[in-house]
Amino acid sequence: MIHAYCLFILVQLLSHSGASESGIVHGKVSKPHSRPYMASLQIRGHHTCGGILIREDFVLTAAHCKNSEPLTVVLGAHDIRKKEKSQQRIQVAKYHQHPDFTGQFDNDIMLLELKENAKLNKYVKAIGLPEKDGKIPANNICTVAGWGQTADDEPASNVLKEATEKIQSPSECKKKWKVFIPKQMLCTKFDKKKGGVCQGDSGGPLLCNSKPQGITAFTAKGDCNNPKYPHVFTKVSFFLPWIQKVMKGPGNVA
């Protein structure tokens, strides 16, 4: 399988290095096509990152999902190893990484402008974005979804899976991760048995109250299911002005 280095990982608690993929540990198989906004980002037919369709011509994902090889966006999928009739495969016309993303942990967000509009139907739908500066209370239960590995040493899942995680307070996140930036990140606590994000679907959503509040960013290296290390997500609401600017057209993009 091609490794597109799609999820930031920490070699030690307070340092950062390299990247990997992320996915869903334990959790459950999603009802087929119950999340029609989900996107599988692929390289030569292999899943490398997740994303969400936010307009018929734009997919939101993590900035570190950009690769030296072109990405193909697959929409309307449940089992990504099959050529389902519901699937739409669309090439990327332009990669809009956040201008302040430097390859580190901050500003880890990217918009993929599609070469052609997705055909919206019961299998493929755009999801609405959260309100600007919307606050998500600690202990709020949210959902993560993706096609990645089901454990650090397990193969990736062919079918879409999901799990629940709880929002953790920014102060607790900061205690665990020195690279945590409260204004632009969210972190979650999770149950080891229920699991959550891991290797295989960076760029996938953290859904709270049916809105994508976060984009999967990073977790602990080789220990994604250890509750001692919260999972970290890019906070979508903080970046709404930038997202709206990019989607208005190239004349408004720096």
Active site annotation includes 33? no
Instruction: Check if 98 is active-site.
Output: no
Identify the pLDDT of residue 1.
Answer: 37
DSSP string, 72-139: EEEES-SBTTS--TT-EEEEEEEEEE-TT--SSSTT--EEEEESS----SSS----PPPPTT----TT
- State the sign of the Cα–Cα–Cα–Cα dihedral 132, 169, 61, 95: positive
Q: How far apart are CA 223 and CA 153, in angstroms?
A: 10
Among 30, 47, 96, 108, the one annotated catalytic: 108
pLDDT value of position 19: 33
Q: What is the structure's pLDDT at 32?
A: 96
Q: What is the mean pLDDT of each run of 10 residues along the chain (254 residues)?
A: 41 32 68 97 92 98 94 97 96 97 94 98 97 84 85 73 93 93 93 74 91 92 82 96 90 42
Q: Quick check: 42 and 21 in contact, CB under 8 A?
A: no
Q: Per-residue DSSP letters for 54-73?
A: EETTEEEE-GGG--SSPPEE
User: What pLDDT sits at residue 10?
Assistant: 43
User: What domains can you pick out in the chain, each with its CATH number?
Assistant: 36-126+239-252 (2.40.10.10)
Residue tagged active-site, from 64, 78, 96, 98? 64
Catalytic residue among 20, 22, 30, 202: 202
Catalytic residue check, 30 = no
pLDDT at residue 253 in the model: 43
Residue 174: what pLDDT? 93
